[in-house]
Structure 1
Amino acid sequence: MSNLKVSFLGLGVMGFPMAGHLSNAGYSVNVYNRTVQKALAWATQYQKGGANVAVSETVAHACEAADIVFMCVGNDNDVREVATQALQVMKPGSILVDHTTASADIARELYAACKDKSVGFLDAPVSGGQAGAENGQLTIMVGGDEDKYNKVEPVMAHYARHSQLLGKSGSGQLAKMMNQICIAGIVQGLAEALHFGQKAGLDCNAVVDVISKGAAQSWQMENRASTMLSNSFDFGFAVDWMRKDLSIALDEARKNGSTLALTALVDQYYADVQKLGGGRWDTSSLLTRLK
């Protein structure tokens, strides 16, 4: 599999380490980032040991020889712009994999555009945050064709602890919306519990140590309760990003007729955090609006 030529477009906090795992696994990796200095920094870090890495100043140059092109950019408009440039040069039989959290509509649009070019497409948003990307422990939700997934899955496994094909194009993005809906509700519940405990005069760290062993346990409780109690939020998955993701979910809910009352409420709570200047704070900063 390491004979495959892969490209990675977008070297943000997620893409940078994800592309690095591919290089460390022995793949020939060509990277592109809008800020070329970031791409050069990536190459400096991962070209050790004779790794076959390359930096491209254009999307086209990065993609023209690739068997698989991975991308992790910002939003629907970024996805469309970058994918359009990639498809101008991608060879028939290659596969475009989008790790961006975006809408199901853009996934279906790109699936059709890729099919016209005899290129495969998978929408494959990830969960696990920066730490998951750095440790190669991401969860990947995938939509698309099974034969394309079977070809790409062993490559993604270098930065994922689990990936799963969930259905036709767009299914990966819909699953990621469910993921974010769950997280929003859990974080708000945890924030309210900690706020309640503090007002009641309890040692909340001790309480969390107890209740995290029971039915209340969650990833958020295990990984965020202590930092919430210490008022530390300058890290992690930013509120601005979460609001983008929740906006996508709420828009999809309007289309399919589902009711997301709690999600809409928590989205407004995150708007309150933004007004406090916390747009780049971790999502666990919901606690700040209760103080």
Structure 2
Amino acid sequence: MKAFLGTGLLGSGFIKAMLKRGEQVQVWNRTASKAKALEADGAKAFENVVDAVKGVDVIHLTFKEDQSVNEVLEKAKSGFKPGAIIIDHTTTSMEGAIERTALWKERGFVYLHAPVLMGPKDALEAGGFMLVSGDQAVINMATPELSKMTGKLINLGPKEGKAAAMKLIANLFLMTFSSGLSDTFHLAKTFDVSQEDLLSLFQSWDLGKSVPSRLQRIAKNDFKEPSWELVMARKDAGLMMEAAKKKNAPLMVIPAVARVMDQKIKEGFGNYDWMVVTQDRKE
């Protein structure tokens, strides 16, 4: 028997997948109707979170942020079975994950942070990725449970909080990547370039393969030998912004990048590789 607290889009996907595997799941949500709706799939819904966790061996949860997790666990704790394992899939701060791991260990319970790189469809179909880090004995104990829930369980090693950090890093990359694609799409429209033409270009020009080498170059912090000079990249950025402005389609990301380029050029880095904009950024 297990419990799942938090029946939003991601939580509902996980719960339905568990039920399809024949597992018994007790569910709770702050909006009780969302938990109640899962009874049609075979879950047992509770209006009181203490009742939802009574008698279960494993407690999964997905909430919005640290505060929600802390509040719900405090309310539920009187119903915890001795030795129950708490597995938290919420995207939280690194500090919060570390603090909860220590706090619940002091109280005699295992808390494992296991954030995910997946959407509701992945949760339902056991796809995507799940991240864990920390006590390896705990992770080994939880692996059979977690492996059923994801396409790949990634163990990031013994450092507490690393899974939380990596989830935020991955989300940042996704945000910046998608924002850059938005600028790309808007610029293409100003030139009357179709979405099909864009797709054709990026199907042939696979930039994803360059990510590891670019990360390595940033880590080395050596941009003296340019493959694309900063002054030339800034010139191109100007052409992009000018074209977008003429069509009243202002770009979102490139103007901010251009400001950093201007500062670096003022500092004397104009003939360096354009990736010098990644160097030693300070407030």
Aligned AA (1:81):
E
Aligned-pair identity in percent equals 26
- 1:37: Cα distance to partner? 1.4
- Do 2:83 and 2:108's aligned partners in 1 also have CA atoms closer than 8 Å? yes
Instruction: Determine the structure 1 residue equivalent to 2:78.
Output: 88
Closer, same or farther: CA 289–140 of 1 in aligned 2, 3 Å:
farther
SS of residue in 1 equivalent to 2:102? helix
- 1:216: Cα distance to partner? 2.5
Closer, same or farther: CA 217–199 of 1 in aligned 2, 3 Å:
farther
User: Is 1:111 the equivalent of 2:101?
Assistant: yes
User: Is 1:37 the equivalent of 2:28?
Assistant: no
**Residue among 139, 151, 161 paired with 1:149:** 139
Residues 103-150 of structure 1: CA deviation (Å, up to 9, x unaligned): 112111211121112211111111122232233213111133222222
Indicate the larger mover: 96-105 or 82-91.
82-91
**Residue among 173, 194, 203 paired with 1:212:** 203
Consecutive unaligned residues of structure 2, counting only runs of 5 or more, are: 210-248, 253-283
SS of residue in 2 equivalent to 1:212? helix
**Partners of 2:11 and 2:78 in 1: CA distance:** 22
Aligned AA (1:132):
D
- Do 2:17 and 2:125's aligned partners in 1 also have CA atoms closer than 8 Å? no
Instruction: Determine the structure 2 residue equivalent to 1:277.
Output: none
Instruction: Determine the structure 1 residue equivalent to 2:159.
Output: 168
Residues 161-209 of structure 1: CA deviation (Å, up to 9, x unaligned): 0112223331111010110121122112211221222112212322213
TM-score by length of 1: 0.68
User: Is 1:66 the equivalent of 2:62?
Assistant: no
Aligned AA (1:197):
A
Residues 215-269 of structure 1: CA deviation (Å, up to 9, x unaligned): 2259xxxxxxxxxxxxxxxxxxxxxxxxxxxxxxxxxxxxxxxxxxxxxxxxxxx
SS of residue in 2 equivalent to 1:7? strand
Closer, same or farther: CA 65–144 of 1 in aligned 2, 3 Å:
farther
What aligned pairs does 1:6-21 form with structure 2 within 5 A after superposition?
6-21=2-17
**Partners of 2:76 and 2:133 in 1: CA distance:** 20
Bigger radius of gyration among the two: 2
SS of residue in 1 equivalent to 2:45? strand
**Partners of 2:84 and 2:116 in 1: CA distance:** 21
Moved over 6 A (4+): none
SS of residue in 2 equivalent to 1:30? strand
Instruction: Determine the structure 2 residue equivalent to 1:28.
Output: 24
Instruction: State the aligned residue count.
Output: 212
- Do 1:10 and 1:34's aligned partners in 2 also have CA atoms closer than 8 Å? yes
Consecutive unaligned residues of structure 1, counting only runs of 5 or more, are: 48-52, 219-287
Aligned AA (1:11):
T
**Partners of 1:213 and 1:30 in 2: CA distance:** 48
**Partners of 1:165 and 1:87 in 2: CA distance:** 28
- 1:6: Cα distance to partner? 1.0
TM-score by length of 2: 0.69
